[in-house]
Structure 1
């Protein structure tokens, strides 16, 4: 994926980072981290932070242009998106997917950037990574350093062991192809030209926010989109708000009901979600 001396591009395709000391220190710490631990340089996008004058996220066309610049930069071997929020889907109409396809490199993003991870993969065939790079300098830094190193070096590793899944036997799924991510954000792609192909893939779902009813509504939308008739399985990560509301078991029963009706297996993992133990997972 990369070698010492290569560069990682930092960008915000969703809501820009705030211009405060905490965000500035996080970016600096992450840059030092990938330099010291992986021997990689950093290329900072000019849309990483909110506009200093307006304190607004940079315009969609500007963010898309900055992303395309990182793809065209030969020194950049991977792109780390450090943002989250609501605005990632704004940039999709401004992307030149043929240019991206001609300069393949993995895009790492999480939460709202589920939109970008899946749209880019679907339009270009480039394998991307569902991952929040900021956890590399979070409370579980050592754990995440190992997780990222494993991703880079263990290309053919068995995902059932990596994510310590529970649920149905998954031995036949060791070479699964994944799609999805944050449930709410993934569904932003529904009905658009950016909706990815689901045939014979394992659908990953997780969410930080969202009450039981909202998450069940998301499952119903997936069914109405025909997703459950296509997928090979459902991998369920953390649903943080459901856990706080003590609704996890009820939600899992709904998931299993869909699975029994459509004949796909369901697995669960604590290593995909919005906490500092969430591991990177390849999309596509």
Structure 2
């Protein structure tokens, strides 16, 4: 995936980072860590932070242009999106997917950037990574460093082996393909040219703030989109607000009801979600 001396591009395709000491230190710490632990350089996008004058996220065309610049930069071997929020889907009409396809490299993003992770994969076939790079400088730094090492070395097959997805042979395990991410944000792609093909894929779902009723509505929308007729399984990560509300069992029962009706299995994991234990998972 990368080698010492290569570069990682930092960008915000969703809401820009705030111009405060905490954000600046996070970016600096992450850059230092990549250099110290992986020998990687950093290329900073000029849309990483909010505009200093307006304190607004940079315009969609500007963010899309910055992303395309990172794809076109041969020294950049992967792109880390450090943002989240609501605005990721704004940039999709401005992306030149031919440029991305000619310069394949993995895009790492999470939460609202489930939009970008899945849209780029759908339009180009490039495998992207559902992951929040900021957890590399969290309280779980050691855990996340190993998780990223495992990913970069191709030693991340534990997703398939842990949940018994696929068959017993390595080839059958490695053939498992994932799609999805944050439920609310993933559904922004519904009805657009950026919606991924779900045939024979395992659908990954998680959420931070959505309450039980909103998330059940999201599952109903997935059914009405025909998703459950196509997928080979559903991998349920953390649904933070639902767990806080004491409705996790009820939500899982709804998931399993859909699964029984459409004949696919449901797995659970504590390693996909909005906390510092969330591990990288390949999309596509």
Runs of 4 or more, structure 1, over 3 Å off, are: none
- Could you say which residue in structure 2 is the equivalent of 1:24? 24
TM-score of the pair, normalised by structure 2? 0.96
Residue-by-residue CA offset, 1:160-187 (whole Å, 9 max, x unaligned): 34xx54xxx4352723100000000000
The answer as to 2:109 corresponding to 1:109 is yes
Given that 1:159 and 1:174 are in contact with CA atoms closer than 8 Å, whether structure 2 keeps it comes out as: no
- RMSD (CA atoms): 1.0
Aligned equivalent of 1:6: 6
| Residue 174 of structure 1: aligned partner | 173
1:21-170 pair list within 5 angstroms: 21-155=21-155, 157-161=157-161, 164-165=162-163, 169-170=164-165
Per the TM alignment, residue 158 of structure 1 is displaced from its structure 2 partner at its CA by 3.7
C-alpha distance after superposition, 1:229-257 (max 9, x if no partner): 00000000000001100100000000000
Contact 1:158 1:174 in 2 (8 A): no
Structure 1 position 155, deviation (Å) = 4.8
Displacement of 1:159 in angstroms is 1.7
For normalisation by structure 1, the TM-score amounts to 0.96
User: In the comparison of the two structures, how many residue pairs are matched?
Assistant: 279
Structure 2 counterpart of 1:188:
188
What are the ranges of 5 or more consecutive residues in structure 2 without an aligned counterpart? none
Task: Quote the Cα distance in structure 1 between the aligned partners of 2:269 and 2:165.
Answer: 12
Mapped contact 2:150–2:156 kept (Cα < 8 A)? no
2:18 match: secondary structure? coil
Deviation at 1:143, TM superposition (A): 0.3
Structure 1: runs of 5 or more not aligned: none
